[in-house]
Every structure is written in C-alpha cells, then in structure tokens.
C-alpha cells in the first residue's frame, strides 16, 4: 500500500467527477465489481490513494492532465509557441490545445490566401 500514488483534496474532487461521469462500474456510490452485500462502496471514491486498477487503467486516461499530476509524470514536450507543457499521446504533437487552434487558423488563412492569389493569375 505504501507504493500507491497519493492524491490531495483538489485531485480527489476531480477524480470523483471523473468516476461519476466515466466509470462504468460506479452506481450511486457503490461499485458493481464488488459483489459483497455488506460492503460494496467504491474504494476509489473514499480513498486518497490510487488503488482501483479499473479506474487507473480505463478511466484515468480520459483526463491526461489529472493522470500526469497524480502519477507525477512530467510531460516531455513543450509547446513551440507559448512553452507550456504538452500532454500528448502521439509523437507528432507540437502545440498545446489553445495554441493548436490558433496555429490551425493561421495555416488555414495562409493556405486560402495562396489559393486566392493563384486563381487570380
């Protein structure tokens, strides 16, 4: 039990929101996997440690920022534009989510500008 990752209060609030919205085994405070009549409370709901394997492997990857903060993994990449850490699942990511929208709009505008001038000639 000592080697399990621990959470603070803010992380536990985010975990509870994630459990409520994404965990298929959660049913109004009880865990469907635990089939005990006397105690079927969701263990991840009441614990500050990351002890549910289903939550860790299937539910937590839905929120990469929370997963990185709980598991203390540092993102290896930084955004090219603003320098913020980029949590990416592929090796091709260069921008953070907010900068990627701006960069995509800038590239689209540039492409359309070139198309416009090529049609005028």
Indicate the number of domains in the chain.
Answer: 2
- Parent domain of 107: 78-120
Predicted TM-score (pTM) of this structure: 0.59
Is residue 84 within 8 Å of residue 96, measured between CB atoms?
yes
Is residue 28 within 8 Å of residue 20, measured between CB atoms?
no
Q: What is the pLDDT of residue 6?
A: 84
Provide the token pair at 58.
Answer: 């299937």
Dump pLDDT digits (tens) for 10-26. 989 999 999 888 888 88
CA 34 to CA 39: how far, in whole Å?
8
- Are 67 and 87 within one domain? no
- Are 60 and 21 within one domain? yes
Has residue 2 been placed in a domain?
no
Dump pLDDT digits (tens) for 74-85. 667 889 999 888
Provide the token pair at 96.
Answer: 């953070």
Residue 7 has pLDDT above 60, yes or no: yes
Residue 108 has pLDDT above 70, yes or no: yes
The DSSP string of 20-48 is: HHH-TTEETTEESS---SS--B-HHHH-S
Residue 37 has pLDDT above 70, yes or no: no
The angle that helices 64-71 and 9-22 make with each other, rounded to 10 degrees, is: 140
């Amino acid at each position: 039990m000592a080697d399990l990752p621990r959470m603070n209060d803010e992380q536990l609030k985010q975990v509870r929101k994630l459990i409520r919205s994404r965990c298929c085994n959660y049913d109004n405070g009880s865990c469907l996997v635990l089939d005990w009549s006397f105690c079927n409370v969701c263990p991840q709901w009441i614990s500050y440690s990351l002890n549910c394997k289903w939550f860790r492997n299937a539910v937590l990857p839905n929120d990469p920022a929370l997963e990185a903060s709980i598991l203390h993994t540092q993102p290896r990449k930084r955004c090219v534009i603003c320098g913020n850490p980029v949590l990416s699942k592929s090796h091709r990511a260069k921008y953070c989510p907010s900068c990627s929208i701006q960069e995509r709009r800038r590239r689209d505008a540039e492409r359309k500008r070139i198309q416009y001038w090529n049609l005028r000639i």
